[in-house]
Chains A and B, each alone.
Chain A
């Protein structure tokens, strides 16, 4: 119940900021469309061979591609691919990264050394290369893309949570729990974790946009979600071959992708701003 309260307070705080409100609005729209895409009169796979590479019209608002498929439908279903990959990847990254950071930061010593060397290894390659190497091993599929993007997100969570734990660990209220006999696991999960939710939330938002970008980049390079599943990156990849004949093909999906990333970014910045100077007493309690 308390978490609900904190989330509502955060939402109220975000809605006070213009940028974050716009971001939330756009993202809400994208999510709604992606969830209810099946109910809309859209067909991402149907081909109309008579009308290939046709510009935006009354029938095809975003135009058609080289196979005569409706680009708007493919953008809508591409949103689904993006969001599913992002959600799955963030979940994987958080489920592995958060405990890594908690354990390393709290116990220190050899556990910390081992976990942090692992993180160093994962960060020794740029995320996109790391993901490509993983896909080279797993083979190309939607699952592989999701897993690869998720694994590259682990170090981010581990580092942020660890840093948070290291700051909190020295704070008197954590020492106090130890002083009146609280066990290490009590302290980790009941004292430190609840004080880290806001940082984790910011990282979730940041990583979501990174994941969407990464998924699109992999598809753009031809190693992401395999066709014919619609993906924004894949559309840009094909669209790039028809820049002379059909410039809208690469431009319109790119606009949607960019707006989605900007939306996440504005929400992330809004959240950080809330943490830095909360106006709401409940926020001060729960977000700090």
Chain B
């Protein structure tokens, strides 16, 4: 076997904390060979990003790094600044998570792409301009000559990330490290970026280390996988083995806790508790407190298991790895939703429009409108979950806020239990708000940091003057119990809670006024996958118990498939397709829905890689200046002349339950998507 490009032995990293040093990485061994893609997967605090930064010597001075890291022929740990710099410039390319902050805002993109090469004397300064254009072309940026001189803010997010990939590969380095490169991107853009990364990797033969929390991305791109937990690698193996035959209880538990877009419905199997904080690791196995296999066995409690090779390839760090449960559990079908006709209608959105004015010029005159929501119709019944799904900027969140009265509707009507809530007087609006509540995406910013959690949950009661009437502290205690929190936490402040606990507090607060309808805006998007499952199960239980109606707003197609009864897909302010959940997922008829589904990564390395993928070109157009006719036409593989002339009507598709806004609606034929029309 050839020499590995990257070889890590016994890597430990610690940071200074209040009570001594906090170990963040505790003994990591890794080898990556040329042409190979290694995915490091783990939850927040698992040490995966720190490992990646340590490899390139990019950790801050306060970090204590020990062990050995070898990139090609450079020993990274203990190397002097000059050696490190040359190693970074020649041998390693880095792609970071958030493309909106990884480029210098005041320098042209082209110059940034080549400056590393120029600084190390690998590229003559006068050839830098031409080289930048060439690099941009290699990562599919349209009009590279014009783009090279532009500034980062003139690029879209996906384009910026592709430019960063081009930059990382500029010197044909032997090793590419990509730290959550697509986490901040929409799924169709993620597909483009992963595509470019994959193609450039094959062209240059580089070794790639890709860090992610998304098992779908892992299944899509990895050759080998390393699963990290509590600062250590707990399992490594070939990607097929990891997904088919996990050998560590944590890997198995992760696979059980994620909702799947491609399989039948089953109740999620969450991992109890929270990921460990590096400052408070248990003595024995770090996963023991949450493990279904360990179950308090003395060996697990006393001894942190070493990573050892097992038969059939791969390695695991578990004393009892033979007992790891299988990857797949038998599907357990949920109750079929009863027919909507029998149910009470909670919410009716009729032809809702929300426009925001755009002001320009000396006098700040209104020169146009951002058509954030452009004619949305939707109905939610009691006990039912209706999901609005789409990419960022499609208007799904604005729709939710308009229903809550947090954003003013421009036109249309919103009926709550049959009565319009638009144009209500302030006092009437307040009482209407008792019937519906909002749950926010980011549990970190939705709780007032200066109030105790008891006060936070009780606040809506105080505002409506109902505190004593509705049972006071007793009622708050009931709610804490309902969402799985202990009343012993009453006097604490939000900062003392984990993300999942905060979201539970947010849910308790939303329920305190006994609403009929909950608007959930990406309620699990900010949470670790193992915590996501806990919250999704809680939401399902609450719905059953309280007969709540949910308007569920999300971008994650797997989560939506898991929780919804009906699903509406939005694109640029309009619903393009709506149907019951299974019809929509099994036979989408709108080309956008089809593209969205094919772009979403599937956590199955075998089935996922064999399916046909549609990689859309371009990005979502500016809602202030939508294209004429069908807004999706410029990116659509079926678009014809008629699509560009007038917007298609939203009609029942003859072949199924679905309704869609498309002149060419119909199931996806094999090979059809290849006849793409460029931008």
A→B interface (CB under 8 Å): 2, 171-173, 175-183, 186, 191, 194-195, 279, 281-282, 284-286, 288
Contacts and interface: CB of A to CB of B under 8 A. Distances in A.
B513 A176 contact: no
A177 B459 contact: yes
A179 B438 contact: yes
Given A180-B437, A279-B18, A173 B463 contact: no
Contact of B437 (A2, A175, A179, A281): A179
Contact of A177 (B429, B463, B495): B463
Contact of A181 (B430, B441, B493): B430
Please give me the 8 A-B residue pairs with the lowest Cβ-Cβ distance, nearest first: A285-B493, A172-B446, A181-B430, A180-B460, A181-B433, A172-B440, A284-B495, A179-B438
B416 to A, nearest CB: 14
Given A172-B442, A281-B493, A281-B495, A182 B463 contact: yes
B336 interface: no
Nearest to B452: A285
Nearest to B443: A172
B449 A284 contact: yes
A186 B433 CA distance: 16
B465 to A, nearest CB: 10
Interface string B423-451: 00010011101100110111001111110
Contact of B450 (A171, A178, A186, A286): A286
Contacts of A288: 449-450, 495
Nearest to A174: B448
Contact of B445 (A171, A191, A284, A286): A171
B406 interface: yes
B496 interface: yes
A183 B445 CA distance: 20
B438 A176 contact: yes
A181 B445 contact: no
13 contacts: A172-B442, A173-B447, A175-B438, A179-B406, A180-B433, A180-B437, A180-B463, A181-B460, A181-B464, A183-B463, A195-B448, A195-B449, A195-B450
Interface of B: 18, 404, 406, 426, 429-431, 433-434, 437-438, 440-442, 445-450, 459-460, 463-464, 493-496, 506, 509-510, 513
Contacts of A282: 493
A286 B455 CA distance: 14
Contact of A172 (B18, B426, B445): B445
B449 A180 contact: no
Contacts of B449: 173, 195, 284-285, 288
A177 B406 CA distance: 11
Contacts of A191: 448
Most buried by B among A180, A183, A191, A288: A180
Given A186-B463, A285-B493, A285-B495, A176 B450 contact: no
A192 to B, nearest CB: 10
A177 B459 CA distance: 8
Contact of A194 (B404, B445, B450, B494): B450
B493 A284 contact: yes
A171 B441 CA distance: 12
Contacts of B460: 180-181
Contacts of A186: 463
Contacts of B438: 175-176, 179
Contacts of B510: 180
B442 A179 contact: no
B493 A173 contact: no
Nearest to B433: A181
Nearest to B426: A183
B354 to A, nearest CB: 16
A176 B583 CA distance: 35
B450 A180 contact: no
Most buried by B among A171, A279, A285, A288: A285
B442 A285 contact: no
B463 A181 contact: yes
Given A178-B406, A180-B463, A173 B495 contact: no
Given A281-B496, A285-B495, A173 B448 contact: yes
Contacts of B429: 181
A180 B509 CA distance: 9
A223 B220 CA distance: 77
Given A180-B437, A281-B496, A286-B450, 18 more contacts: A173-B448, A177-B448, A177-B463, A178-B406, A179-B437, A180-B433, A181-B429, A181-B430, A181-B431, A181-B433, A181-B460, A182-B459, A182-B463, A183-B430, A194-B448, A285-B449, A285-B495, A288-B450
A183 B429 CA distance: 11
A119 B256 CA distance: 59
Nearest to B492: A281
A286 B460 CA distance: 21
A166 B148 CA distance: 36
Given A172-B442, A181-B464, A285 B437 contact: no
B475 to A, nearest CB: 15
A2 B449 CA distance: 13
Contacts of A286: 450
A288 B451 CA distance: 12
A171 B447 CA distance: 9
A194 B496 CA distance: 19
A285 B430 contact: no
B239 to A, nearest CB: 38
Nearest to A2: B450
Contacts of A181: 429-431, 433-434, 460, 463-464
A285 B450 contact: yes
Contact of B433 (A2, A172, A179): A179
Contacts of A176: 438, 440, 446, 506, 509
A288 to B, nearest CB: 5
A226 B520 CA distance: 66
Contacts of B18: 279
A7 B429 CA distance: 38
A182 to B, nearest CB: 5
B252 to A, nearest CB: 35
Given A172-B442, A282-B493, A179 B430 contact: no
Contact of B459 (A171, A180, A281, A284): A180
B348 to A, nearest CB: 20
A284 B444 CA distance: 13
A171 B509 CA distance: 17
Contacts of B406: 175, 178-179
B286 to A, nearest CB: 25
A128 B496 CA distance: 46
Contacts of A173: 445-449
A285 B438 CA distance: 23
Most buried by A among B431, B433, B449, B506: B449
A181 B429 CA distance: 8
Nearest to B448: A173
A165 B433 CA distance: 24
Nearest to B429: A181
Nearest to B401: A175
Nearest to A192: B448
Contacts of A285: 449-450, 493-495
Contacts of B506: 176
Nearest to B506: A176
A263 to B, nearest CB: 28
Nearest to A278: B495
Contacts of B426: 183
Contacts of B513: 180
